[in-house]
């Protein structure tokens, strides 16, 4: 039988993966447009379902606890900022110097958010939402993330069909 991870370990694992991809993107230059485009698509495929699933599965449970409300609301806001920056990055040519500047702001924002979650929100949350509840949340999160990834793929396929 497979051991189910708690929600916090699962999210921190995903944070590491996103950070790895962001560092790879950060090391690209304007000349590496194809590499930048591929890595950016990979990043988006990881980070968008992650944020949406976190908001749908974990954050509502955390909002039930007074001591977690402020940090949780901040998390929602930081996700909104990240989504807005992702949209701007999507619309900016990957070959431009401006793209890398925007990406740096995006990366700083995400790293700040991850740091806050891992060092402030999660330790406090573990005190009130842990054990079996945390494992059940992890299972729900994985199902939601899969649903979000499939939704992202369907939207991409529609865009491709519309462009043909």
Confidence of residue 97 (pLDDT cuts 50, 70, 90): confident
Confidence of residue 102 (pLDDT cuts 50, 70, 90): very high
Total count of domains within the chain:
1
Q: How many CB atoms lie within 10 A of CB 63?
A: 13
Cα–Cα distance list, 69 to 66, 79, 107, 125, 132 (Å): 5, 15, 25, 10, 22
Query: Would you say residue 80 lies in a domain?
Result: yes
Query: Would you say residue 2 lies in a domain?
Result: no
Domain region containing 122: 7-163
pLDDT digits (tens, 9 = 90+) for 67-93: 999 999 999 999 999 999 999 999 999
Query: Would you say residue 1 lies in a domain?
Result: no
């Amino acid at each position: 039988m497979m051991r189910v991870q708690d929600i916090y370990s699962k999210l921190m694992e995903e944070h590491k993966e996103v950070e790895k991809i962001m560092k790879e993107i950060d090391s690209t230059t304007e000349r590496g447009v194809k590499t930048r485009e591929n890595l950016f698509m990979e990043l988006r495929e990881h980070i968008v379902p992650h944020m949406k699933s976190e908001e749908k599965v974990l954050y509502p449970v955390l909002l039930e606890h007074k001591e977690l409300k402020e940090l949780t609301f901040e998390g929602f806001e930081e996700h909104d900022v990240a989504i807005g920056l992702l949209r701007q990055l999507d619309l900016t040519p990957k070959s431009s110097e401006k793209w890398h500047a925007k990406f740096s702001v995006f990366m700083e924002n995400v790293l700040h958010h991850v740091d806050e979650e891992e060092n402030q929100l999660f330790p406090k949350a573990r005190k009130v939402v842990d054990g079996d509840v945390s494992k059940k949340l992890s299972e729900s999160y994985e199902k939601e993330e899969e649903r979000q990834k499939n939704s992202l793929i369907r939207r991409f396929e529609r865009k491709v069909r519309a462009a043909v």
